[in-house]
Amino acid sequence: MQASQVARHPQKQKIEIPIIGGPFDRLTAVLEEFEPGEQGFIIHPEQCGVSPRTVSHVVEREVEVIVPARLHLAVLDMNRFSIERVGGGGIGLGIGVYMRARVRSTKEPEIVVNGERPLIALHFARVFKEILQYPGGLVIELDDHKRRHVGLGSSSGTMCAACIGINEVLGRPFNNRELRRITGYNACEESPSGNGYIIRTFETGIGSMVGINGGLVVGSDDAELIYRAPLEDTKVIILIPDVPSLEDEYTGKDTAADAEVGLLLRRARCLDARMGNPKAHMILLDLLPAIIKGNLEAIGEALLDISFTGSKRAECEQHGLCGAPIFNYIGLFREMGAEAAGMSSVGPTVFALTRKPLVYNRILKYLHDQGFPSSRIIETEVDNTGARIIENSEERNYLDEGWLQG
């Protein structure tokens, strides 16, 4: 699809959502539709703590980028992000489910986007051309993992894949820390009205941290990556359950998008305002030491406690009966021996982590015996590599660049 072929619509909508955080926090968030790359909606490097730079020469290159999907295990504090600000922190895990982007730089100045999520690709192509004053063009083709609004980060992974590809063909002007800030502060989503516009998203930066670096990551406020560690030899079982909150989530029908926004801005923020201190205690004194030691069982114990605390509790509760369907799966996986289990993002995807082959096979057998279709079960493992960039049949990644400062 040529950039010039994207439909123009005379009237843009504004979505007003009343939000509640702390006891005296009552205001309205406004999600405003805009065209991909529209002036006034581009966040420049200096606005997000990155020094400005330019790419003035065009070198024709082509790369393929493969980015792991993420499980978003928890947000630290939903009161610390907004549509204008990346923040809130969180815990994320890379898994062997992938988004792909093929990006080519051209001497002709046009932008051409093909494949899936074309509005997202077009937006970031225009963002990079603007902030780098890049005179050439870009050809981008995206392929996401086809599971949208179920908690597997299709939007954040697609953004990450596109941005890494553009960054690579332009000579890697941004290191990994800078790149995740550019991505996070310009994050977008297709408007739920389906009219060819996009809207800003509520962004923690965890998707980019996982997509670029892989492994298990802990991010803090303002999209800063605090700690990253591999989880070696760890299998992952993912189930997309049939819950009342979604009609047909697996096929890509965006049935959960509106519910997500309301959840993030109301009950979840309120619970994080009340439970921020105990959650911080769990993460600092329980989760981080377990990650450093590579103790999957201790990681699982901390994640279980977090599942009943603050915004993660609210995320689980949106799926019916005060969260009973989700908590039932989490408890079931743990009873069958999984070292860790939980729900990803706002769900309904639930997961089990294990290093024990017997447990892995036991859970899979149970799910198949219960009649879950194979399309809702994913058998994979933790991805500890992060983004792979393939150019001229050679592969590279960001692991040797360092996850802290890039």
Closest to 32 (Cα-Cα) out of 154, 201, 159 = 201
User: Tell me: the pLDDT tens digits for 29-52?
Assistant: 677 899 999 999 999 999 999 999
Q: What residues have CB less than 8 Å from 120, skipping those under 6 apart?
A: 36, 142, 155, 158, 159, 162, 188, 189, 190, 198
**Cα 25–chain centre separation:** 27
Bridge partners of residue 82, in order along the sequence: 85
pLDDT of residue 256: 45
CATH top class, domain 12-401: alpha beta
Whether cis (ω within 30° of 0) applies to the bond prior to 348 is: yes
Query: Could you tell me the pTM of the whole model?
Result: 0.88
Residue 49 backbone zone (phi > 0: left; psi -120 to 50: alpha; other: beta): left
DSSP, res 287: I
Per-residue pLDDT reduced to its tens digit, 189-222: 888 887 889 998 888 999 999 999 999 999 998 8
Report which residue type is found at 272. Answer: D
Strands 90-106 and 235-239: unpaired
HSE value, Cβ hemisphere, 13 Å, CA-based, for 261: 19
Q: Which of 4-8, 104-108, 141-145 has the highest mean pLDDT?
A: 104-108
Query: How many residues are given for the chain?
Result: 406
For tokens 């596109």, what's the residue?
162
B/e letters for 308-321, b = 16+ CB within 10 Å, e = fewer, are ebbbbbbbbbbbee
Q: Is the pLDDT of residue 402 over 70?
A: no
Tokens of 367: 């799910």
